[in-house]
Structures are given as structure tokens and as C-alpha cells.
Amino acid sequence: MSIDAKAAMQAPPRLRRISVTGQLPIVTLLALAGITSLLTDRFLSPINLANLLVQSSIMSVIAMGMTFVIVAGGFDLSVGSVAALSGCVAALVMLKTTIAGGVAAGIAAGALIGLANGLVITALRVNPFITTLGTMVLVRGVVFLLTGGQAISGTFGLPDPFVRFGAERVLGVHALVWVPAILLSVLSVVLNLTPYGRKIFATGGNREAAYLSGIRVNVIVTSAYVWCGVLAGVAGVMLAARLQSGQPTAGEFYELTAIAAVVLGGAGLHGGEGQLYKSVIGVFIMVVLGNALNLLNVDSYWQRVAIGGVIIAAAAVGGIRQR
Amino acid sequence: MDGVARRFRDPREALTAGLVLIPQELRLVPALSVAENVMLGHLPSRRRLGLRVVNRRALQEQAGVLLARLGFRGDPDVRVDSLPHAERQLVVIARALSRRARVLILDEPTAALEAREVRRLFDTIASLKRDGVGIIYISHRLEEVLELADRCTVLRDGRVVAALERAAFDLTGLVHHMTGRDVEATSADPRRPGGAPLLTGEGVSLATGEVVAIAGLLGSGTDRVLRRLFGAAGAITVQRGDRRRALRGPGDGVDAGLGFVSADRAQGLVQGASVRDNILLAALDRAGRGPGGLWWSRAAADAIVCALMDALDIRPRDPDRAVRELSGGNQQKLLFARWLAAEVAVLLLDEPTHGIDVKAKAQIQRLIREFAERGGGVVFASTDFSEVLSTGDAVLAMRQGAIVARLPTSGLTERHLRATLQG
């Protein structure tokens, strides 16, 4: 086929793809930010904006991992516990060896739990919800056994460069913010621009069709859980740096926030759909909403009511859109 | 309805008016009994200790009367998922009658029935007609239309192209309206002798350039043979060309140059994904570029996809369109294209022309022949005996899960084939 014919064939779809409904998450975020900035001038202050980025950074990393699993047609409730485990393992190992050793051990712990989740779900065919509910509780127990319920910071605190990573700026931007920024660009390429990434979408879209097309669906699904575990591990290490210690109670309810963010990003929970950047936008929506309610001095009990309502509203809009 | 224009806002209003749709996918509650499924939504009840409880005796009686009227001779107390498809269909029709249906819409009701069951269904339809029930019968099988219909509406590309009284339509006329042109009957080409052995296993042997049909009545296990050969039903070893290959799953099957299309199209398609992604599903690594094929190249992907959409006449020519927007015939061609993209040597097709229109059916049958003529091999299972005879070089007759005969198709008649299958 000639180049021209191909170009002609592709022109209309390209136009069609830029639809308003597909960009709903970003529209929501901009509307939210616009309204908030009208109600209070503190919202657009440099300090507040920088603060928003830092607050979003750790959750963004977790939400990216969750996106892998949800696109592959799965679900992971264990990410909060895994983040706590990774943070504590990183702190413990760091105090005995080097910073690099600690970071590697923390992320490896996350990868291991992800691998375990994936193997139980694919090889033993246990429902993902039940499996990860189990690991969520189990891993939290392991964290308490490992730490004796105490925060891990050593006698003289965690090594200085590690603590500085959790607080200082690089090129004018908080160091913690660089982590999701770099991960987002690299992982977006993996998910969208490699045959491996297309297989994740296909497997989540119709597992049977992918299987009958020769795709090793069990390997693909397991790998998605490993990604999720690794990213939860990275988030746990970031959290330890920010808290200057490994906290056994850290990361509680992170799984719910992450799932909400992915849904706000328009992924739906049936698999085969989702984009990493949209999930990150979902995180921003959650964070900006919380920030706005804070700045407007809304009672913290009412904040929860509002955030819950927004999650349901977003899912409902997504549901109507699909019809 | 009844000479009055009615507007139904939801299925419930249509049901109340006496209009019942019976889709191909029967909607039954698998874990409930036959009688409960028949009376679902209005189970007879009585009061016990101030509570409404199901009146089991009335349930049995009422369901029994309706089922008997349809010639159902089974136990109404067994779970409905223990019944074969044809019996379940009767359960669904009985449920429609329990709602005093006055118009029944049957969508491809014979798609999964064998000859004897089709006969019984036709008897049921005749008796419903006598009782004053109107029937809208949707079918691709024109001989059924000719036998049953008093009036016939022909649709093409979503539009009504003809509405004819019984006296005014015949087979060629219907085909003409459905396709917009006259389709010549698929001719039996002179068959060439088979070449080198291509695939051997599970009692099937296929040579290069050969098309082998597997014929059997429903439930005879034809689909099972194809799935096993592909490695999708447990580990198996096959002779592929001059090598023995152990297949532990479809992944190994594809690596060995085999492609499989299931009878259930939905099983093979990622409905929400684009035509491009679906065509490339088995060949994603071929669209990779760079070291180790790591990068997915849109240009490389489109080169493959566009060429195949042209070659197979998949419409509309838009690789970005979601697969769910394509017609059944185009979806089936897409599944065919998927294996051409993967460059497999052997196609294993289960009911390749099931439920698609006459024109697409002829195209698929031609594609099967062409694939074999270019040095591939095809094994296909079909319950359409005229297709078996016109498209296959040889036919494997299956009875109760076993291949009982291998017959050359030249000189074979449908009657002879049917006799072999029924034993």
C-alpha cells in the first residue's frame, strides 16, 4: 500500500481519538484547581504547589503499580502493607550495611511479595481480591514481627544522605518528585510502546483471547503483580526517607487511595484499559481535593465525606460514558 | 402491537405486553432447577406463618404443564445446567409461555442444535403458531427460512432491503437480496494430491496444501480435537513436519506454527481493543523493532495490518475502530487475518462460517482454500455438511469423541456422510 493511502486511512481516527470524554481526568483536575484558586489565593502560592507535588509523589508511584495490575485485569490490596515492609526492610538493612544495600533490599522485598501474589493468583487460580487481601494482612503481620512494632531509625538515625533525599531539592524540585517523574516516562514507554506492554492490555481485555493467541497469560499477569510490588517497594523506601525511619504502621489505606486514583483516571476495574499518566492525574485530583478542603477550612470529618462522594461520582460518570 | 404503535422504554414493558426475545445465549440461572427457571420472576407462593414461601407443588404443576406442551420429557427438579443446550432452549421457551408471550423473537435458535433437535424445535414452532403465538425468526440458514416463514424481511448492512410474502421468495432471490448480487455456488475444484506431511496427532493427519474437514453432530467432540491439537486442552505431543513437538499450551502451539479459531467469536476477540491490536494479537513480537524487538513500531504494525485488511476485505478499513463495532463476518475475517499476521503454517478452525452472512461465508471458504494452495494446511470442524463437502479435500467423521472414518470428499454425498456420522 502506498504511503498516501495509509495516511488517508489513519487521518479520521486520529481526529476522533482526541475526544473530550477520554480526557475527563485532566478536565476534572483543571476545573478543580480553577475553582479552588478562585476561592483562595493561597492555592496557587509556590509553597502550596510544591507541597502538592511532594504529597502526590509517593502515592503516584503506588498508583502506577496498581495501573499495571488493573490493566492486566487484576487487583492488588497489599500495596500499603508492602510499602511498610519495604520501608522497614530498607531501614534495617541500611543500618547494618550501606544505603544502596538498604534501598535494594527494600525494593526486592516488594518484588518478592508481588511475585508471590502473581503466582498464587495464576498458578493456584485464587481470586485476586482474596489473595491480596490475604497478603495485605499477612505482610502487615510480618512487618510487626520484623520490627517488634517499633519504628526503625537506629540509635543515631538513618544515614544522613538518605534522610536528605527525603527533604532536599534537586534542580529546584523536591528530590522525591523526581522519582515518579522518571518512572512515569520510562514505564509509559514500557506499557504503550513495547510488544510486552500490548500483551498486558490484551490479557486484561480478554484473557481467553490472549491465551488462544499464544500469549503466555500467566507470565504476563504475574509480571504485572511484580511491577506492582516493585513500585510499592519504591514508594515504601521513599516514605522511609521522608519519615526518616521505617514505620511499621506506614501506608495504611494506601491501597484504597491508589485504587480510587486509578478509577478517577478512567481505567475501570474490568481490565484492558488505563494509562499511567491518567492514574497520576487521578492521584493529583485526590491530593488537590484534600488540599482545597484544607485551605477552605472544611472540617476533616466532612473532608472524608466529600472525597468518598467524589470517587463514586467519578466512577458513575465513567459508567455513563461507557453506555 | 395489536394495530397500535407502542413505545417500550425497557424490556420489562415489552415483556408485559407479551413480547419475548430468546437470544442465542440462553439466559438461565444455572444453579436453579428447571421448574424454577421456567417460573422465574413469578414463582407461585403461599403463606406460611405470615411469610410468603414458594409453593413447590404448584411450581411443579405449572412448570410441568408448560414443559409438556413443548414436548420436554425430563425431570423438572434437576439443575438446569445439567441439561444439554436443546433442552435448555425449551426451558427458555417455556418461561416465555409462562409469561403469556404472544410474540416470540427467536435469534438463530438452531445455531447449536443437531438435526433431530431442529426437527423438534420446528414442531414446537408449528404448535405455537396454531395456538396463536406470533414468531419472529432470525436466521442465516436460508433453508430454515424457506421452510418456516410466512413472510420474510431481508436485512443488509443494518438496513431493510426487502419484505416479501411467502409466495414471492425463493433461495436465489433471498441470496440476491442479502448480498446485493448473485453469488455463484462454491464449485468443487479438482483436488490435488496432498504434499509433504504437515501435522499429525490426535488421529488427524494433514499434508501440505490440504484442507481436512472434521464432521460430527453436536456433542461429538469435534471442537475438542482442534483444541487438543493446538495445545489448549492439556499437554500433548504432535508430529509437526519432520519434528516432534511437545505442546503444553497455546503458546507452544503458536511457536510450532499452529493457529486456532474458536467457534465462539467472542472468545477470540478483545472487544474493546482496536482492529489493529486484535489482528496483531498473535504477532505482537513481529511488530517489534530495535534490539531484541523491544520497541513496538506503529509503522511496522500498520504495514502488516493494512495489507491484511485489504487482502481479506475487512470493512470498514479503519484499524483504529473498536472490534465490537464490526459485523460478525468481518470479525471472523479478522480472526483469520490474525493467523496470517502470525504466519502460521496450519490453521485449526472451529465452525469458521458459523452465524455469518452468505457473502462473508463464501469469502471465508475461499480464504481457506487459498491458504492451503499457498502451501499451508487447514483442519476445520463444521456441522454444515455442504460446507464440509465443498471446502474440504477429505473429511474425518466423528462419533462420540472418536474419529470413525476418513473419507475423500470427491464423490461423497451429504446423505452418505450423515449416515456415517449417525452410525
d(CA A106, CA A220) in angstroms, rounded, equals 23
Q: Is B22 left (phi over 0), alpha (psi -120 to 50) or beta?
A: beta
* Stretch 289-308 of chain A: residues touching chain B, C-beta under 8 Å: none
Q: What share of chain B is helix, strand, coil (3-state, %, to 5)?
A: 40, 20, 35
CB-based contact B282 A273, cutoff 8 Å = no
- A323 reaches B (C-beta below 8 A): no
Q: How confident is the model at residue A245 (pLDDT cuts 50, 70, 90)?
A: very high
**Measured between CB atoms, which of B269, B296, B317 is closest to A206?**
B269
Which one-letter DSSP state was computed for residue B184?
P
Domain residue spans in chain B?
11-149, 197-422
**Measured between CB atoms, which of A210, A272, A273 is closest to B281?**
A210
Q: Could you give the ipTM of this predicted complex?
A: 0.78
Q: To the nearest whole angstrom, how far is the Cα of A137 from the nearest Cα of chain B?
A: 33
- A273 reaches B (C-beta below 8 A): yes
The highest-level CATH class for domain B11-149 is alpha beta
| Pair B229, B258: CB distance under 8 Å | yes
Assess whether pLDDT exceeds 90 at residue B350: yes
SS3 of A211, please? helix
CB-based contact B318 A199, cutoff 8 Å = no
| Residue of A18, A71, A206 for testing the chain B interface, max B β-carbons within 10 Å | A206
Q: To the nearest whole angstrom, how far is the Cα of B341 from the nearest Cα of chain A?
A: 11
Residue A118 is predicted with a pLDDT of 97
- B202 reaches A (C-beta below 8 A): no
CB-based contact A10 B302, cutoff 8 Å = yes
Any bridge partners for residue B197, and if so which?
B207
Name the average pLDDT for chain A.
Answer: 89
Average pLDDT over residues B294-315: 86
CB-based contact B250 A212, cutoff 8 Å = yes
Question: Which of A97-111, A157-171, B289-303 shows the lowest per-residue confidence on average (mean pLDDT)?
Answer: B289-303
Q: To the nearest whole angstrom, how far is the Cα of B296 from the nearest Cα of chain A?
A: 4
Top mean-pLDDT range of A5-9, A10-14, B249-253: B249-253
State which residue of chain A sits closest to B226, comparing Cα positions: A212
d(CA B376, CA B334) in angstroms, rounded, equals 18
Q: How confident is the model at residue A12 (pLDDT cuts 50, 70, 90)?
A: very low
Assess whether pLDDT exceeds 50 at residue B420: yes
* Stretch 141-200 of chain A: residues touching chain B, C-beta under 8 Å: 192-195, 197-199
**Measured between CB atoms, which of A197, A198, A211 is closest to B250?**
A211
- A12 reaches B (C-beta below 8 A): yes
Q: To the nearest whole angstrom, how far is the Cα of A263 from the nearest Cα of chain B?
A: 17
State which residue of chain B sits closest to A201, comparing Cα positions: B273
Do the domains spanning B11-149 and B197-422 agree at the CATH topology level?
yes
How far apart, in Å, are the Cα atoms of B44 and each of B36, B49, B54, B58, B414?
Answer: 10, 17, 6, 6, 49
Higher-scoring residue by pLDDT: B25, A312: A312
Residue A2 is predicted with a pLDDT of 42
Residue A266 is predicted with a pLDDT of 84
CB-based contact A194 B294, cutoff 8 Å = yes
- Taking each helix axis as running N to C, give the angle between helix A217-243 and helix A195-205, from 0 to 180 degrees, rounded to the nearest 10: 100
- B320 reaches A (C-beta below 8 A): yes
CB-based contact A1 B307, cutoff 8 Å = yes
Assess whether pLDDT exceeds 70 at residue A257: yes
**Measured between CB atoms, which of B254, B296, B306 is closest to A198?**
B296
A65-115 pLDDT tens trace: 999 999 999 999 999 999 999 999 999 999 999 999 999 999 999 999 999
A195-215 pLDDT tens trace: 899 999 999 999 999 999 999
DSSP notation for A44-109: TSHHHHHHHHHHHHHHHHHHHHHHHHHHTT---S-HHHHHHHHHHHHHHHHHHS-HHHHHHHHHHH
> CB burial class (10 A; 0-12, 13-18, 19+) of residue B421?
buried
Q: To the nearest whole angstrom, how far is the Cα of B347 from the nearest Cα of chain A?
A: 12
**Measured between CB atoms, which of A195, A210, A273 is closest to B296?**
A195
Q: In B26-170, which residue ranges form alpha helices assigned H by DSSP? A: 34-38, 56-69, 85-98, 115-130, 142-148
* Stretch 265-294 of chain B: residues touching chain A, C-beta under 8 Å: 267-273, 277-278, 280-282, 284-285, 287-288, 293-294
How far apart, in Å, are the Cα atoms of A123 and each of A120, B54, B199?
Answer: 6, 42, 30
Average pLDDT over residues B405-411: 84
| Pair B275, B314: CB distance under 8 Å | yes
Residue A313: phi, psi to the nearest 5? -60, -45
| Residue of B230, B284, B344 for testing the chain A interface, max A β-carbons within 10 Å | B284
CB-based contact A16 B320, cutoff 8 Å = yes
Which one-letter DSSP state was computed for residue B349?
E
Q: In B131-191, which residue ranges form alpha helices assigned H by DSSP? A: 142-148, 171-179
Q: To the nearest whole angstrom, how far is the Cα of A242 from the nearest Cα of chain B?
A: 36
d(CA B249, CA B349) in angstroms, rounded, equals 17
CB-based contact A17 B280, cutoff 8 Å = no
d(CA B220, CA A162) in angstroms, rounded, equals 68
d(CA B219, CA B117) in angstroms, rounded, equals 12
Nearest to A226 by CA among A84, A135, A110: A110
The 10 Å Cβ neighbour count of residue A22 is 15
Which one-letter DSSP state was computed for residue B291?
G
Assess whether pLDDT exceeds 60 at residue A4: no
CATH of domain B197-422: 3.40.50.300
CB-based contact A214 B284, cutoff 8 Å = no
Top mean-pLDDT range of A115-129, B156-170, B281-295: A115-129
Residue entry with cell 417455556: B94
The x, y and z cell numbers of residue A67, run together, are 495501573
CB-based contact A202 B277, cutoff 8 Å = yes
